[in-house]
Amino acid sequence: MTKPIIQMKNIEKHFGPVIALAGVSVDVIPGECHCLLGDNGAGKSTFIKTMSGVHKATKGEIYFEGNEMNFDRPRDAMAAGISTVYQDLAMIPLMSVARNFFMGNEPTKRVAGINFFDHKLANEVTMEEMRKMGINLRGPDQAVGTLSGGERQTVAIARAVHFGAKVLILDEPTSALGVRQTANVLATVDRVRKKGIAVVFITHNVRHAMAVGDRFTVLDRGKTLGTAKRGEITPEELQDLMAGGQELATLEGSLGGTV
C-alpha cells in the first residue's frame, strides 16, 4: 500500500469551551479520493480548515510527506501542496476565465523594461488545462460568470492542479449543482485522482461519494465513526452512519413505523 501523503493524528480543535474536533484521525493516500462525510455540524469544515492551515489544531499531529507540519497560515499549506476549493470558488464573475485562472499567479513578459501581463501565455495555458479536464471553452476571454456551476468548479480544480496541488480538498463541490453538472464535476475528480493527486472530497451526499470514493470516513459531532474502503460498506450503511440510523430506527419504532 502506498504511504499516506498526509496524516492527521488525534486532531482536536477547541473554540473556547466548544470542542469542534475531539481526536479525529484521517490519512490520505496519493491517487485516491478520500470522502469525508457527515451531517451539518459534524466537524467537516473545521477539520479541513485545520488540514489546510486556516485553523491551528489545539492538540494532535499533522504529517505531510512523512514530516511533521505545523501550518501557521493557509499560504504555508498551499506552498507544501495542499490546495482547497471552497464552495464560493474565490472567483470574480465579470473577469475572464484566463484572468481568474491566473489570479495571484499572473505570468508576465518584459517589454521595454516594464513587466506586463502575458495574455498570450495565460490564454494558451488556460485553454489547454481546461481541455484536459474535459471543458471546451468558447475562448479564454469568456467571463467566468457565463459558465455553469460545474464548469466554474472545474476551472477552480484545474487551477489548483496546474499550480502544483498534491492534495486537493474539495468542500461540497456538488452541493448546488444539477444532475448533469454534478456528473461533470465527478468526472473531473476522477481525472485528478488518476494524475496521482490525493483528493479529499467533503460531502453529505452518499451517492456522489460512492461514485468516486476509494475510502470513506464519517464524522459525527467532532469524532470519526470509522473509515471503510470501497466494497466494505454499502450506500445504505454509509447513509445510516451519517444520518444516525439507530436514532431514526428508534424514532420510527416509537411512532409506530410512520417515519
Span 153-212, pLDDT tens digits: 999 999 999 999 999 999 988 887 888 889 989 999 999 999 999 999 999 889 999 999
What are the boundaries of each domain within the chain? 6-91+167-254
User: Residues 30, 43: contact at Cβ < 8 Å?
Assistant: no
pLDDT at position 199 is 96
Cα–Cα dist 166/186, whole Å: 18
Q: What is the mean pLDDT of the segment spanning 248-258?
A: 57
Q: Report, in angstroms and rounded to the nearest whole number, the Rg of the chain calculated over CA atoms.
A: 20
pLDDT of 89 over the 80 cut = no
Span of 73-87, 185-199, 236-250 with lowest mean pLDDT: 236-250
Three state DSSP letters for 27-55: EECCCCEEEEECCCCCCHHHHHHHHCCCC
Span 106-132, pLDDT tens digits: 888 888 888 888 989 999 999 999 999
User: Cell triple for residue 217?
Assistant: 470516513
| Cα separation values, 209 from 146, 181, 186, 202, Å | 28, 15, 9, 9
Mean pLDDT value across the chain = 88
Task: Find, among 236, 212, 238, 211, the residue nearest to 227 by Cα.
Answer: 238
Domain at 6-91+167-254, CATH homologous superfamily: P-loop containing nucleotide triphosphate hydrolases (3.40.50.300)
pLDDT at position 259 is 47
Element (H, E) at 250: helix 245-254
Q: What is the mean pLDDT of the segment spanning 217-222?
A: 90
pLDDT of 1 over the 80 cut = no
| Cα separation values, 123 from 116, 138, 186, Å | 14, 12, 25
Task: Find, among 190, 188, 212, 163, the residue nearest to 36 by Cα.
Answer: 212
Q: Which residue, chain included where needed, has cell 499550480? A: 163
pTM (two decimals): 0.86
pLDDT at position 258 is 53
